[in-house]
């Protein structure tokens, strides 16, 4: 009987004490932890130290460093093809010097430039990129044509000239053109790298929702750095992608 009363008294005491306790989730914090708002689950990109001066980009000009080189790296400079290591046919398309080597580009004359002619060749054995990789889009071919026609210069512009506007970012207006130029060479068609395609809104939305899109372009630990073999997206472009995802990925 005494033992029973003892345990009854102990249980009552613990029960009363527990009424005054509130159990809160305590998250460990450290120098490498990222603390985010519940409504904003994507870590912030690095501090934006971009230079917003320099030369603004003109829609009438094709820029090698901004447009042509990322396209060549994505579509042509893959492992086993024209990357810096393989250099198939002794051709390295990861630099301006490589793109201009062996006379494959005739400035001001696209139709006499091998670099352009292999893109429009209808023979699968001669067309580049080689099957099963898909051919470049008409817009991408037109970009190469335009660049050569304008003299095949090693030119560059500041895509972020004047500041970084993250308001109203849409898939059609920013995300799709960016991925087409820098990512779709690897992530399109039946032979898409990692079986990840980024050619339609729904495909891109899927990768945005599972975290891979932002994780890869922001070079986060645990994600494969993208664009593979190319330069990392600027902090401004990372911010734009982040703002687009947080806004619900508007089309």
In a domain, 49, yes or no: no
Residue 89, sorted as left (phi over 0), alpha (psi -120 to 50) or beta, turns out to be left
Q: Convert the pLDDT of each residue in 169-184 to its tens digit.
A: 999 999 998 898 888 8
pLDDT at 198: 93
pLDDT of 49 reads 59
pLDDT of 8: 40
Looking at the domain assignment, is residue 213 inside a domain?
Answer: yes
Evaluate the CA torsion angle 245, 175, 189, 130 in order and state its sign: negative
* Confidence check: pLDDT of 34 > 50: no
Angle at 133 between CA 127 and CA 139, to 5 degrees: 70
Angstrom distances, CA of residue 141 to CA of 90, 195, 226, 238: 23, 24, 23, 26
For residue 139, the enclosing domain spans: 64-149
DSSP 29-61: --TT-----TT--SPPPSP------SPBPPTT-
pLDDT of residue 50: 61
Stronger pLDDT, 42 or 13, i.e. the higher one: 42
pLDDT over 80 (residue 113)? yes
Residues 124 and 186 in one domain: no
User: What is the mean pLDDT of the segment spanning 116-142?
Assistant: 90
Mean pLDDT score across all residues of the chain: 80
Is 16 a member of any domain? no
Is pLDDT of 136 > 70? yes
Does residue 44 fall inside a structural domain?
no
Lowest mean pLDDT among 5-14, 38-47, 64-73: 5-14
Same domain, 142 and 69: yes
């Amino acid at each position: 009987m005494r033992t029973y009363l003892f345990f009854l008294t102990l249980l009552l005491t613990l029960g009363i004490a527990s009424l005054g306790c509130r159990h809160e989730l305590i998250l460990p914090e450290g120098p490498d932890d990222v603390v985010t708002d519940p409504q904003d689950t994507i870590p912030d990109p690095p501090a934006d130290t971009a230079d917003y001066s320099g030369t603004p980009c003109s829609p009438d000009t094709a820029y090698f460093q901004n447009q042509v080189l990322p396209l060549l790296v994505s579509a042509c400079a893959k492992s086993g093809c024209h990357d810096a290591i393989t250099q198939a046919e002794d051709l390295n398309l990861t630099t301006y010097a490589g793109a201009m080597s062996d006379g494959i580009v005739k400035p001001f004359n696209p139709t006499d430039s091998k670099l352009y002619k292999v893109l429009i060749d209808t023979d699968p054995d001669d067309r580049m990129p080689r099957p099963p990789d898909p051919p470049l889009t008409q817009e991408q071919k037109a970009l190469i044509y335009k660049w050569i026609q304008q003299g095949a210069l090693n030119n560059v512009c500041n895509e972020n000239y004047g500041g970084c506007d993250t308001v109203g970012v849409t898939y059609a207006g920013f995300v799709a053109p960016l991925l087409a130029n820098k990512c779709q060479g690897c992530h399109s068609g039946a032979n898409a790298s990692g079986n990840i395609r980024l050619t339609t809104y729904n495909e891109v939305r899927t990768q945005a929702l599972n975290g891979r899109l932002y994780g890869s372009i922001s070079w986060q630990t645990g994600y494969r750095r993208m664009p593979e073999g190319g330069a990392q997206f600027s902090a401004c472009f990372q911010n734009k992608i982040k703002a687009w995802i947080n806004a619900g990925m508007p089309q």
